[in-house]
Structure 1
Amino acid sequence: MPEGISTNISAAAASASPTPSAPTGSATASASPASPFMKANIIDGKAVAAKIREEIAAKVAELKAKYNRVPGLAVVIVGDRKDSQTYVRMKRKACEEVGIAPFGADLPATATQEEVLEAVRGFNDNPDVHGILVQLPLPKHIDEQAVLGAISVEKDVDGFHPLNIGRLAMKGREPLFAPCTPVGCMELLERCNIPIKGKRAVVVGRSNIVGMPAALLLNKRDATVTICHSATKDMESIVRQADIIIAAAGQAQLVRGSWVKPGAAIIDVGTNPVDDPSKAAGYRLVGDVHFEECKEVAGAITPVPGGVGPMTIAILLRNTLDSGERFITRDVKSKESSRKGPLLSRLVPEREQLGPWSVVAAGSLLAGAALQRALGSRRQ
Structure 2
Amino acid sequence: MEECETPRVKRLPNFNSRSPRKYDALSQLPKLPKNRSVSPLLISKHIRDSSRELQTHVQNFQITCINCQELINVNSIESHSKECIKVTENVASIDSSSFLQQTTFKLEKLEKCLEDIIATRNLRPGDKNYLSVLIKFCNKIVKFDYNEFEACEAIVKNLENLLISHQGSSSLKIYADKLYSISKDMLEAIRELAIQKKKQEIDKMRFEVKLYKDQAEMLQNKINKRVPGLKIADISKPLKTVESEINLRNLNTPTTSNSATEEASPLLEEHSEENLSDKSDLQRYFYALCLGYKLKLSKNSESRYVSIQKLYSSAISSAVPAEKWKDWIAHELSSPEKWFGDKPKSSRRSRMRTETSRRAKDFEAIIEESSIDLY
Does the pair score TM above 0.5?
no
Q: Which structure has the bigger radius of gyration?
A: 2
Range class of TM-score, shorter chain: under 0.3
Higher helix share: 2
Higher strand share: 1
Q: If the length of structure 1 is used for normalisation, what is the TM-score?
A: 0.20
- Pick 1 or 2: higher relative contact order, CA cutoff 8 A, min separation 6: 1
